[in-house]
Amino acid sequence: MERVDISILGRDYSLACPAEEKQALAAAAQHVSQLAGRIQGTGKVSGNERIAVMAAIQIAVELLSVRAPDGPLGGLAVGDFKRRIDSMNAMLDEALATVAPNRTGKPR
């Protein structure tokens, strides 16, 4: 395990990760630090906890809008893909509930 020391909003953190993930973790921490600093700099949000939540929401929006590369799912955003999978799972659960036998062995 490697150690990565970072600073976000004036607070220092020490994180452990596998050596092959050290660079990615440092880059992610730098992204969070820059985003939190920009949010803090607006003066509209105060308190490190609120700034952290706002940064997390913004990063989640970035993640969910990432587009899939070319291929069968080309151009589909990760968030859209997740919503479609959730919808398919709900339809499957509903279909299974109508054909699966209940405790008495009879269809529902």
pLDDT in tens, 3-34: 999 999 999 999 999 999 999 999 999 999 99
Into how many domains does the chain fold?
2
81 and 54 belong to one structural domain: no
6 and 47 belong to one structural domain: yes
Instruction: List, in sequence order, every beta strand (DSSP E) within the chain.
Output: 2-8, 11-17
User: What range does the domain containing 90 cover?
Assistant: 69-108
- Classify residue 98 by burial, with Cβ atoms within 10 Å: 0-12, 13-18, 19+: exposed
What are the backbone dihedrals phi and psi of residue 70, each rounded to the nearest 5 degrees, phi first?
-55, 150
Its pTM surpasses 0.75: no
* CATH number of the domain that residue 28 is part of: 3.30.160.880
54 and 20 belong to one structural domain: yes
pLDDT in tens, 32-79: 999 999 999 999 988 999 999 999 999 988 887 777 677 666 677 777
